[in-house]
Each structure stands twice: as structure tokens, then as C-alpha cells.
Amino acid sequence: MQQRTVITGGAGFIGSHLCDYFVEQGHDVVCLDDLLTGAASHVEHLLGNPNFTFIHYDVTEYIHVGGRVDNVLHFASPASPVDYLEYPIQTLKVGALGTHKALGLAKSKDARFLLASTSEVYGDPQRHPQPEDYWGNVNPVGPRGVYDEAKRYAEALTMAYHRYHGVDTRIARIFNTYGPRMRLYDGRALPTFFRQALMGNPLTVYGDGSQTRSFCHIQDTVRGIALLLDSDQHDPVNIGNPDELTIRELADEIVEITCSDSEIVYQPLPEDDPQVRQPDITRARQVLGWEPRIDRREGLRMVLEYFQRAVNQEAEQQNR
Ligand code: UDP
């Protein structure tokens, strides 16, 4: 029988790729998004499809979906540091109230539930790389606390619904992901560097650029999430690419790949910016048989075309 899958935040970066994936898999997909940081254009191409429904909705309010539901994927949330600092209350609300409503929907429909959690639950980690049994080092009252604590609370609520209501839950701890549909101005390092390099502007590296991240291509991320949904794993699973590099190295690679002559400039490091980040994906390998397939350099070259198009569109709009 055809599966029916509700995706909150379905017009966001990761959410919209999940909509594509599950429509492709033959699911009937219901996408809920209030378009705070998502964009209708991300799912526009699916609108005529009988297996896709878009509902403009804020999931911190009671969620009503008529009929059967087999899966609820909760991906609604501002997710880039710039976004969640601009929308701190909305971020806390969607992590807390939104997760509650999405879990309530899953419970009432007897559906599987998957929470989009994050490597931010590890904060500025004192264990490296980060396995799932590391509890993290988060400043609850710092500026990033609004996202980190919202997601930590969301994980706690998800486990409580699993333990006390028997909801069939999954938790994906998603590390830095990149791919088409990232907004040029979402403030994250990778799209910012592509935009700056392609526009011939200086690349803004924060701090001395020695902080590290590990970037996973969206195709690998989506495949990992789909495998997790199909698994019986209720404990959190890291989904990320362990290939770690410094932010300075990322900037250099993007300058090279874009054949840009932009220089690199240094700006102050944001408060509580994690010094290192690298997923330990032993659990994902063992329980999902998953690991990333797309090497970073290959992935960066794959995404170049998208950023070039986005920058051209931006230039056209400015010239109008
Ligand atoms: N960063 C940077 N320049 C920018 C944007 C971000 O050097 O224009 C740094 C940021 O301080 C962090 C890293 O790049 O150390 C990754 O930041 P991002 O916003 O992509 O996400 P995070 O991994 O911190 O959630």
C-alpha cells in the first residue's frame, strides 16, 4: 500500500530534498511549512503532482492532517546560526511546541516519527570526534542556546513519547550538510564562501579559521535519513561525513573550485562557535550500513553549478 508521509519544514533545504526523495519513492507526501526560512520555490516543481500536497502552516499550532499517516518527519526549524539568531523565539517554539505537535500527530495516527536533530546538541565538544553517547557541552544561555537547547529538548520529548506512549521514533543527528537550494544569504560558511568567491568579493573567515567542520552532501544525508526511517533504531544516530577540515581550508578549496581571485579576510569569531566538529559514524555504519559516498571535492564541484546559477539570478535581479 502507498505510504503517506508528512514532512514538517518540507520547503526548507533538507526538507525539500526529502519531499523529492519520498515522492520519487512513491509516497504520498504532505509538506507543512510556514516559509519563515523555507521557500515555496523549493517545492514548486512538485505542486502539480497528485502525490504531493503543500500546506502553508506553522507547526507550533495543533496539526490536523486528515486520513491515514504512516510517517511524520519533523524538519521544521530555522537551522543556520544567522537564522536562529534572527528568530530565537520561533526556534525555541518549533523545537518545543512544534515537536510536541508533530509527536502528537504521530501518536494519534500510529505513525513512525523521525526527528531532525543536530550536531549542535554536542555544543562546543570536548570529545572528538563525537559519538552519540557523548552528552555535549552546551551553553544554555549563550546566543546559540536557542537552537541547541530546542533540539536537546526535542530529543528528550521524542524519547519520552517513545518510552511512555510507545511511539515508534527515530532521531537523526545531522551534521553540516550542503547542496542545491541553500540560500545565498543564509549565513552559513559554505554558501557564503561560494557567493563571495563567485561575486569576486573577499571571503569572510571568522576567527583564525582553524575551527573545523565536516561537510556532507545532501544526497548522502537524505539516503542516511531514509535508511534510519526504515530501521528499528530508536537511539540517536549521527548522519554526517567524517571528512573534517578547517574553515580556512574550506575557503581555500572554494576559491580554487570557483577559479576566483577573491582574497580571504578575517572577522571576529561568533560567541560559542564550536572549535571542532566531526561525526563518529560507527553506529550509522553498523545499524544502517550507511556511510557517505560523495567525496567533498567531488560534492563541491557538483554544487558549483547551483551556486553559479543562484549568483547569476541575484545579479539579474539587482540590475533590474
Ligand atoms: N564562518 C565563517 N565565515 C562565514 C560564515 C561562517 O568563517 O561567513 C564560520 C563559523 O564561524 C563557523 C564555521 O564557519 O566556525 C561554520 O559555520 P556555519 O555558519 O556554516 O555553521 P555551524 O557549523 O557553525 O553551525
pLDDT band per the 50, 70, 90 thresholds, residue 229: very high
Give the pLDDT mean for 118-143: 97
Residues with Cβ within 8 Å of 16's Cβ and at least 6 positions away in sequence, in order, are 10, 31, 38, 42, 43, 181
CA of 82 to the centre of ligand 1 (A): 9
Q: Is the CB of 204 under 6 A from ligand 1?
A: yes
Structure confidence by residue, pLDDT tens digits, 154-209: 999 999 999 999 999 999 999 999 999 999 999 999 999 999 999 999 999 999 99
Report the chain's mean pLDDT, rounded to a whole number.
97
Per-residue pLDDT at 127 = 97
CA of 123 to the centre of ligand 1 (A): 14
| H helices present in 258-319, as ranges | 282-283, 296-319
- Please list the active-site residues: 147
Q: Is the CB of 192 under 6 A from ligand 1?
A: yes
Assigned architecture for domain 4-178+216-239? 3-Layer(aba) Sandwich (3.40)
CA of 188 to the centre of ligand 1 (A): 5
Q: Is the CB of 266 under 6 A from ligand 1?
A: no
Q: Residue 268 gets which letter from DSSP?
A: P
Residue ranges per structural domain of the chain: 4-178+216-239
The answer to whether the CB of 96 falls within 8 A of the CB of 104 is no
CA of 215 to the centre of ligand 1 (A): 12
Per-residue pLDDT at 320 = 82
Structure confidence by residue, pLDDT tens digits, 304-319: 999 999 999 998 988 8
Structure confidence by residue, pLDDT tens digits, 15-38: 999 999 999 999 999 999 999 999
Nearest 5°: phi and psi at 216?
-115, 135
Percent of residues, the chain, with pLDDT higher than 90: 98
Per-residue pLDDT at 319 = 86
Q: Can you tell me which atom of ligand 1 is nearest the CA of 176?
A: 23
The answer to whether the CB of 53 falls within 8 A of the CB of 115 is no
Q: Can you tell me which atom of ligand 1 is nearest the CA of 269?
A: 11
Q: Is the CB of 197 under 6 A from ligand 1?
A: no
